[in-house]
Amino acid sequence: MTREDELEQAEEQFFDALLRSDAAELARLLDPEFLLIDVITGSEIPGRVLVDVVSSGQLVFDSIERLGRRVRLYRCVSIVTGQTRIRGRVDRDAFETHSRYTHVYVPAAGGWRLVSAQGTPIASVSTL
């Protein structure tokens, strides 16, 4: 399996863990220093907090559609960028977002660990 294949597998496992609210799998995939920059609020969310809100049902992902990706490989880090359309709920309040994301991975025993993630909303463009 190539490094690119391994990263694609890590990406699939990450998004699948979110959809299934699988806290154990999510914790396994995230580096202890993981930090998420939230796509909606721009706030910093440590990995343990993300795992807690997903496992508690406070944050639920109803659907995640991945729209392409680009993988850049370096000696000690790999970066995956792509787009998603996500529907979910925070405390029963529905949200929907179309965004670009950046995921930063580092190699670790047993595979890749996600150390950083950031989402940026894609604004709707209106025509005149």
Q: Which amino acid is at 39?
A: V
Output the tens digit of pLDDT for each of the chain's 128 residues: 899 999 999 999 999 999 999 999 999 999 999 999 988 888 999 999 999 999 999 999 999 999 989 999 998 999 999 999 999 999 989 999 999 999 999 999 888 999 999 999 998 765 55
pLDDT (0 to 100) of residue 40: 82
Q: Which amino acid is at 30?
A: L
Domains in the chain: boundaries: 3-121
CA distances from 120 to 14, 27, 63, 83 (A): 18, 23, 18, 9
Residue 119 forms beta bridges with which residues?
Answer: 101
CATH architecture, range 3-121: Roll (3.10)
